[in-house]
Structure 1
Amino acid sequence: MNILITTIFDYPHEGGLSSHITTLKKGLISRGHTVDVLSFSQLPHFKKKMLAQAPGFLLNKVKQGSGQLFNDRQRQKLLASSIKSLNKHYDVINAQDIFATLASVESGIPTVQTVHGYYSFEAVSRGALLPDSAEDLTIRELERKAYQSAAKVVTVDQRIKDYIHHLAHIEAEAIKNFIDLSAFAPESAKREQTRQDFQIPLHKKMLFVPRRMTEKNGVIYPLLALPEVLKAHQETILVYAGTGEQLARLEETAASLQLTDSVRFIGSVPFENMHHLYEASDVVLIPSVHSHGVEEATSISALEAMSCRSPVIASAIGGLKEIIVDGEDGLLVKEKDTKALAQSILKLLHDPPYASTLASRARSKMESEYSHLSAAKRFETAYNEVL
């Protein structure tokens, strides 16, 4: 079948949504389908700037949140117009956010929506909306409308499925996040080269945080735990890959704690290069926290690290508890508990055989439960249900 994936966000971009689209597309193509992606990136540059981004920026100066809502609605309109102007016939559309769903259903093509999180809550969490403001309430209502308008709703974990049932009285289907196991396969031979490429000292233990720098990702906590780690293991470096509104705070905190020499911010890393960094690391940290009602789903970063046979320490919240069994294929710690985080890091640094055992079990789990090929088959079934 001919499948169109839509989103009002840029593609490709940094983050799990982009990884999801790339990997799903690859899986569907391997099953013989034709897949195209229509995102904000493909829309005319002039229209993007003049009709959405610039007005939204100015409106936010007047009232926080008003620009965000305007920008999203304009992106919806531009996407809807672009879908209608496409010359190619599509059997089904798989929308990746609520505004893409609202745009897609206008075309009359059966639309399946994949829900990756809590749209309004996440906007509040990153400071784009004020909680319970008129804009926040409007977006919640648009969420409800999108879920009810879609021919079928798919969620990436059970908690989001429950949220949608509560909000819109829709019975969604949960298909857990997934990864391309061949793209994130252990390849330790390139570990030394990767360290050199990113100027990470070969003799230091590398703690890796592969997260967008937003509040809900808890990126500040590995930095706050680092002094305790350095007391017991001086030759340690904390490496962040990602960008976001928390970056300035992290840099200021590192300077105030006199940790600048022990922390590296390497910015956004292309999807195809991430597996090299997982392999170059000694411990991967996924320190997510609850933030304004937002809770981590099945973290793609955690799945990628586990697939690369990298030992993972994650917060014991949300979907992270669904994919990691504490002490069996990774370690779980209480969110925001920097002392517990430091102790878990030191536990793995001081016992490499134990860390290796956790990592090997994690890879086995990924092979048996999180393949993009089996997920693509389930999405294919979902598409057939609405045709």
Structure 2
Amino acid sequence: MKILLATVFDYPHAGGLSTHVTTLKAGLEARGHEVDVLSFSDISPVSQNLLAKGPSFILNKLSKGSGIIWSHHVRQKMLYRLIEQHKSKGYDIINAQEVFATLAAVETGIPTVTTVHGYMTYEAISRGSVVEGSRQARYLLQKEVEAYTKTRKIVTVDQRIKNYVFEKAGVEATAIRNFIDINSFKPDKENRLAYRRKHGFAEDTNIIFVPRRLTKKNGVIYPVLALPQVLEKYPNTMLVYAGMGEAFQELKSLIHEKGLEEKTKLLGAIPHEAIKEYYALSDIVLVPSVHSAGVEEATSISALEAMGSGSPLIASAVGGLKEIVRHEHDGLLVEEKNVDQLAQAIIYLLDHPEIGQRLAKEARRKIEEEYSHLAAAKKYEEIYAAALQQ
């Protein structure tokens, strides 16, 4: 098949959706398909700024939420024109990665499958982009329903999102949990010391890694709140964040307030390829997600990558994290927002590195058996084939 993966967002960028697209593309190509990606990044920077980003910024200043509506609307139109320009390539199917990409794809007449990565409207509320109950929030939800009813098939990345789609639009979806390239994200601990030297970390430092976008739902403040307890027993500990987001300033202020500047490092957004080295040099990986405005973590790609990379994982017992982590077998689960429990889990693994190694070994086994990008690509292939039969 000739397959087009389409998104109204930038590609590539730091985040789960971009990682999903890259990994799915690799899996589909390994199975013999031709795969292209079209995204907002394929639009000229001048058009991006003049038509989407600039007006969106101004409109948001005038009325909260108006800017995001404008931006989505313009991005949809731009993506539609892009797809039309590439129609000569003879795509059999488009796999749209979100609501407005779906609406653009459907308009071209090419059979469309939609992957739903989250709860678009609720996530916009959680980020503070729109106000709950506002006209803008109602509009976004209306567009969700429109997209879910117009596309031929829907794939969701976990069971809860599948239930959400049915609840909002009355449409049955297929849940295919997120996945990783198991050949790319694999244990690399033999290079641990080399990576530490490369990135400026001492050999004997306990490195706690948080590979998360800095958003409220990702619970990024809680490792900082837990760190003082850890430092009491293990003063040679460093908390390292990889990611950017709207909670950056809040996190930075909290670090300053707690006097933890020397014990934390904010890397910002780093290339997906480079993040592998941080998994390898880390002692523990944290995925401290929380419920926020009705939004909860799906099947976290960061958690899967950590489990595939040989680092013991501590995650919050929310959403899809509860599906992928079996407590005390291939990782540790802690109650969301429970600072004491998070601190004690970190201390426990630092006290017992052999247990961390066992958890990491079992986690890798699970990833190989259940979360391979090649197995996921086969499932998507079956969905595409079914969509073409409609």
Structure-2 residue corresponding to 1:123: 124
Q: Aligned pair 1:33/2:33, yes or no?
A: yes
SS of residue paired to 1:154: strand
SS of residue paired to 2:89: coil
**Cα distance in 2 between the residues matched to 1:241 and 1:28:** 28
Structure-2 residue corresponding to 1:56: 56
Structure-2 residue corresponding to 1:308: 309
Q: How large is the Cα RMSD of the aligned pairs?
A: 0.7
SS of residue paired to 1:332: strand
- Report 1:195-210 matches (<5 A): 195-210=196-211
Structure-2 residue corresponding to 1:90: 91
**Cα distance in 2 between the residues matched to 1:335 and 1:223:** 14
- Report 1:1-387 matches (<5 A): 1-86=1-86, 87-387=88-388
In percent, how many aligned pairs have the same letter? 52
SS of residue paired to 2:240: strand
Give 1:268 deviation, angstroms.
1.2
**Cα distance in 2 between the residues matched to 1:265 and 1:195:** 16
The answer to whether the 8 A contact 1:198-1:266 is kept is: no
Give 1:196 deviation, angstroms.
2.1
Deviation string, structure 1 residues 210-256 (Cα, Å, up to 9, x no partner): 00000000000000000000011111000000111111111111111
Deviation string, structure 1 residues 36-87 (Cα, Å, up to 9, x no partner): 0000001122221111111111000101100011111110011111111113
Structure 1: 5+ residue runs without aligned partners? none
Letter paired with 1:14: A
Deviation string, structure 1 residues 85-120 (Cα, Å, up to 9, x no partner): 113110000000000000000010000000000001
Give 1:197 deviation, angstroms.
2.3
Letter paired with 1:24: L
Which 4+ residue blocks in structure 1 deviate beyond 6 angstroms? none
SS of residue paired to 2:330: coil
**Cα distance in 2 between the residues matched to 1:119 and 1:112:** 17
Give 1:321 deviation, angstroms.
0.1
The answer to whether the 8 A contact 1:278-1:308 is kept is: yes
Deviation string, structure 1 residues 359-378 (Cα, Å, up to 9, x no partner): 10000000100000000000
Deviation string, structure 1 residues 144-196 (Cα, Å, up to 9, x no partner): 00000100000000000000000000000000100000000111122112212
**Cα distance in 2 between the residues matched to 1:201 and 1:177:** 34
* Length, aligned pairs only: 387
**Cα distance in 2 between the residues matched to 1:361 and 1:255:** 38
The TM-score with structure 1 as length reference comes to 0.99
